[in-house]
Structure 1
């Protein structure tokens, strides 16, 4: 079993923003999707995981951008597992352009849960075969716990049917779109350098996210709450 899985993909027009740059959500989708494709290539398909009582859920993402891919650009995504930390599975990514120049580094943390009870399953109990590469680390900030203690109320966002994924909750990349949508236009026009997000409590159909924002120079922190419970916190830094 190879430690590193590689997948070449093309950034399509519909993956991009008004400046023809890939959206943050597009990169988040690629990370989540290719992690699953890599597991399937090793024989652990979504159905295999489901049949064994497993679902992987993203808990933290940290991405550093040297350059955002653009429409019609072909890129290669490399991913590998670094091992685990407590109950978290650690997986890193590197994304390269057609000339093998690195564009993006990412670190992620995942938790394994039972799809029905949502009970967390520790890595030591996972029945799949894992090949890890602990000595190789992507050049992105560590995944860390984000905080927003004082933010301005920025509005509400009702969960829509099209936000949901096959696990019945808001798909992880949708939170990036929700966050970017409420940024000041002056920030959105800049070049994104880092994106970090913590997924704390799942949002489902019928929920309403109350959004809070704090802007400090070129950095914005956004928190979404359901009633009094934090759902997600993300941080975007621009240059």
Structure 2
């Protein structure tokens, strides 16, 4: 197991919304930036990996939330590459407030991608050794995501140039914006995320039109991003009402 890597941040106003809480997409991007800094600290340059045709791609997230960071709040983000096997790498994140109270935890599943061929490739052991990440045959299990059967709410989005990351496809955080936006303003102002699971099935490219579908059941929402009649991502979110 690799060493923990820690950074302290202050939440800027542009990473928050009308609730004064940090946007989920901004939160995920900030946590991934910290993991990127850990790689840089041991001499791994993701840009150089991309130039050599190799990219990191996240396939699953499991998020547990006590509360989201607030505007101007100081937080501490801790990350660790826990283990890897032939095709998967597992990384965890925790976010704490200035007093050391845990705000949220994130578990993630990563793969390496051959950027030219657009297909998965075996994890490169040399890269994992540089961050002291141990090899293990253990496969981490993530919650199974319930598929949508009867979506009452659907919205379409056109992918933009600014949605595309260095791997040549839509950044994983953009999917979260598409999913949450489909719930509408009133719901988002009156509910808080308790947990979130998301699975990325197929990449979305520049210029594609995607459909964000959502099905609400009690305190849960079930989401699907699709394009060309194929599923790109699925998610399920547990919610609590604000002020409950």
CA offsets 1:136-186 (integer angstroms, 9 cap, x no match): xxxxx9534424140315121111222122222111111111111111445
- C-alpha displacement at 1:51, in angstroms? 4.2
In 2, Cα distance between equivalents of 1:11 and 1:146: 31
CA offsets 1:44-83 (integer angstroms, 9 cap, x no match): 0113322443210111111111111000011111011111
Residues 53 and 204 of structure 1: is their aligned pair in 2 closer, same or farther, counting only changes over 3 Å?
Answer: closer
Q: TM-score scaled to structure 1, two decimals?
A: 0.89
| Aligned partner of residue 33 in structure 1, secondary structure | helix
Count of residues paired in the alignment: 233
Q: Which residue of 2 aligns with 1:138?
A: none
Residue pair 2:97, 2:103 contacting (<8 A) in 1 also? yes
In 2, Cα distance between equivalents of 1:127 and 1:2: 14
Residue pair 1:112, 1:122 contacting (<8 A) in 2 also? yes
In 2, Cα distance between equivalents of 1:76 and 1:94: 8
Residue pair 1:60, 1:144 contacting (<8 A) in 2 also? no
Alignment map for 1:71-220 (pairs within 5 Å): 71-85=71-85, 87-123=87-123, 125-128=124-127, 129-132=130-133, 143-152=142-151, 154-188=154-188, 189-220=190-221
CA offsets 1:5-42 (integer angstroms, 9 cap, x no match): 11111111111110100111111112222221111111
- C-alpha displacement at 1:114, in angstroms? 1.5
Q: TM-score scaled to structure 2, two decimals?
A: 0.88
| Aligned partner of residue 191 in structure 1, secondary structure | strand
Please provide the CA RMSD for this pair.
2.2
User: What runs of 5+ residues in structure 2 fail to find an aligned partner?
Assistant: none
Structure 1 consecutive aligned stretches of length 4 or more whose deviation exceeds 6 Å: none
